[in-house]
Amino acid sequence: MGQLLINGLGTGLIVALPSIALSLSFGILKFPNFAIGAMLTTAAYIAWSLNIHAGLPLLAAGALCIILFPMVALLCDAAVFRPLRSRGPVTLLVASMGLSFVLDNVCRLIFGNDARNFDIALSRPYRVWGLRINYELLVSAGVSIGAMILVFLILKHTSIGRAMRAVADNPNLAAARGIDAKRVIAATWILAGVLIAASGVLIGMDRAIDPQLGWNYIIVCFAAAILGGLGNPAGAVFGALLLGVVGELATLVVATNYRSGVGFLVIALVLLSRPNGLFGTREIVK
Amino acid sequence: MPGVVTVSDLRTGYGGDDIINGVSFDVHPGEILTIVGPNGSGKSTLIKSLAGIVPARQGTISLFGENVTALKTPQRIAKGLAYVPQEFNVFRNMTIAENLKLSTEFLGLRSHDGNQERTRVLEMFPDIADRQDLLAGNLSGGQRQMLAFACALISSPEVLLLDEPSAGLSPKLVIEIFEKVKAVNELGTTIVMVEQNVAASLPFSDRAIVLVNGAIRHESSAAELSARGDLHELFLKEA
């Protein structure tokens, strides 16, 4: 039971980062970014290339990936989303699906279909009160928690963070306060890029990297963001942790194949009683 | 008299329809100009267009003689305009302090010292000064309106655009709000406001425009409009 809890929290912490990115993009850019899975895959491959081909240690490769990937995110915005910004959320959602296929296939074209692994030394798990805790799990937890704290400090205590919250709340009023939406959109992509890159590296440490990597996480990222209340980054973290833990604990009573199903059952039950998610607020449309 | 704001042959609207159909008027320095009219006459669309939120389809909007028609809202704000929307005019998930701080952070050279500016406007609005950690979403309608004013005034704008400042307020608060508008005006800020509450707003106004079906039907001093006995006909008769 304790082991399942630890594993569930570990999974939840890794998923929390792209879920925050998804929640931010939904709140500020006003569309659900379906390309988030393919972006995770791309970030993992960038880190893998830096680690294996450039010969950088994983820590340096991961850090460089976190610096470089926001530029990829900005490029995606400039090429795909910016020209379609005024067309509304459905158009942007469809465009993000298209981007997803493009990124996936670029990865497939460059890196092939074979599974790849980081150059990472195998280590014996630590034993604490009879529980096995992997080195990778500790790194994942540390990076995820650090990144989450950083995001919340940025949102709460910096002017660009306040501007991001303002645009998410009321774009017209934000403009009337002199806030330049372009600057906020760029900051959102940079922050989302950092989170996606960090998560891509952590997922690559946890499992093999292949062109399908992102597809395994996209549904759970959406589920976490929706469960927490779309547009609410703290809610996305809670949703990711809850789904991770429920998924693992479910294996006590159902076959492991069905653990995702149990997570979605939880979502269905939550949304039936709280249609805007656990921490979502009802949108007032005038 | 040259206008601080000059609107010439303005045409604007949403989707395929024009709401404002070729409106022209001047806003004189230091005055309170009130735009009144029945529901659906295009008052809010007009003021949103002045603020740059609804783009002009035809005609020009000039601020201090400079054509600002193509400028977006933040650029117009940087040129000395401020705008208070009718509803949702504060960031509900932020505290009073955060709302005020946000109002000084993106104004570039117009705000040299945010703290000094915040102190200045809070002196004008003591109701909100001593509860700065409160979420704006938890304020009463009147307090929210005061906070919205304070946020708009923090940049010391030359021209303040108000979209129905009395909307949803009790009669006592309506008078308080208009007294505050007058006090702000007496400090030198030119004010353009859109109002549904004609009887309450005209005594605090210098000039008035009656807008019906997106066109100006009447323009005069506020006192002259108040004195007319045919306001009802003016509002409702077909063009």
Answer for the pair A181, A175: CB distance below 8 angstroms, yes or no: yes
Interchain CB distance below 8 Å, B91 and A172 = no
User: Is A278 inside a domain boundary?
Assistant: no
pLDDT-based confidence at residue A9 (cuts at 50, 70, 90): confident
Across the strands, what pairs with B163? B194
Q: Which residues of A touch B98 (CB under 8 A)?
A: 162
Helices (H), chain B: 43-51, 73-78, 96-105, 114-124, 126-129, 141-153, 171-186, 198-201, 222-227, 231-236
CATH class of B5-236: alpha beta
Least CB–CB distance from A286: residue in B78, B87, B89:
B87
B155/A contact by beta carbon, under 8 A: yes
Please state, in angstroms and as integers, the Cα–Cα distance from residue B34 to each residue in A38, A208, B7, B88, following that order.
Answer: 54, 67, 15, 21
pLDDT-based confidence at residue A285 (cuts at 50, 70, 90): very low
DSSP letters, B151-178, are HHHTT--SEEEEE-TTTT--HHHHHHHH
Interchain CB distance below 8 Å, A172 and B53 = yes
pLDDT-based confidence at residue A1 (cuts at 50, 70, 90): confident
Least CB–CB distance from A159: residue in B87, B105, B151:
B105
Across the strands, what pairs with B121? none
- State how far residue B52 is from chain A, nearest Cα, in angstroms: 9
Please state, in angstroms and as integers, the Cα–Cα distance from residue A103 to each residue in A69, A113, B22, following that order.
Answer: 13, 14, 49
pLDDT-based confidence at residue A284 (cuts at 50, 70, 90): very low
State what percent of residues in chain A have pLDDT above 90.
39
pLDDT digits (tens, 9 = 90+) for A50-92: 999 999 999 999 999 999 999 999 999 999 999 998 888 999 9
B104/A contact by beta carbon, under 8 A: no
B138/A contact by beta carbon, under 8 A: no
Interchain CB distance below 8 Å, B72 and A176 = no
Its ipTM equals 0.82
pLDDT at position A91, please?
95
Least CB–CB distance from A175: residue in B73, B91, B103:
B73
Answer for the pair B37, B232: CB distance below 8 angstroms, yes or no: no
pLDDT at position A61, please?
95
Interchain CB distance below 8 Å, A169 and B103 = no
Count of CB pairs separated by less than 8 Å, A with B: 69
- State how far residue A76 is from chain B, nearest Cα, in angstroms: 25
Identify the closest residue of chain A to B90 by CA–CA distance: A173
Interchain CB distance below 8 Å, A173 and B93 = no
The pLDDT of residue A134 is above 90: no
Q: Which residues of B touch A179 (CB under 8 A)?
A: 74, 102, 106
pLDDT at position B16, please?
80
* Mean local confidence (pLDDT), A130-135: 79
Least CB–CB distance from B51: residue in A163, A166, A176:
A176
- pLDDT means per 10 residues, chain B with 239 residues, are 85 88 93 92 94 93 94 91 90 91 73 72 84 89 88 90 89 88 92 91 93 90 84 65
Using CA atoms in the order A148, A153, A156, A162, what is the torsion angle rounded to 10 degrees? Answer: -90
Task: Give how many domains chain A has, as a whole number.
Answer: 1
Please list, in sequence order, all residues whose beta carbon lies within 8 angstroms of the beta carbon of residue B9, skipping any fewer than 6 positions away.
B22, B23, B24, B58, B59, B60
Q: Which residues of B touch A166 (CB under 8 A)?
A: 91, 94, 102
Interchain CB distance below 8 Å, A162 and B85 = no
User: Is A282 inside a domain boundary?
Assistant: no
Identify the closest residue of chain B to A281 by CA–CA distance: B93
The pLDDT of residue A281 is above 70: no
Q: Which residues of B touch A286 (CB under 8 A)?
A: 87-88
The secondary structure of residue A80, as a DSSP letter, is: I
* Mean local confidence (pLDDT), A139-158: 88
Interchain CB distance below 8 Å, A178 and B83 = no
Residues 39-58 of B with CB under 8 A from A: 51-53
* Mean local confidence (pLDDT), A173-179: 89
Q: Which residues of B touch A180 (CB under 8 A)?
A: 74, 106
pLDDT digits (tens, 9 = 90+) for A226-269: 888 777 788 888 888 888 888 888 888 888 777 777 777 877 88
Cα–Cα distance, A176 to B103 (Å, whole number) = 9
Q: Long-range CB contacts (< 8 A, 24+ apart) of A250-254? A: A251/A4, A252/A1, A252/A4
Residues 150-169 of A with CB under 8 A from B: 159, 162-163, 165-166, 169
User: Is A9 inside a domain boundary?
Assistant: yes
pLDDT at position B109, please?
44
User: Is A139 inside a domain boundary?
Assistant: yes
The whole domain housing A131 covers: 2-273
Interchain CB distance below 8 Å, A176 and B78 = no
The pLDDT of residue A286 is above 50: no
State what percent of residues in chain A have pLDDT above 70.
98
For residue B35, the surrounding DSSP H or E stretch is strand B32-36
CATH number, position A86: 1.10.3470
pLDDT at position B182, please?
93
pLDDT at position B236, please?
61
- State how far residue B112 is from chain A, nearest Cα, in angstroms: 15
- State how far residue A45 is from chain B, nearest Cα, in angstroms: 38
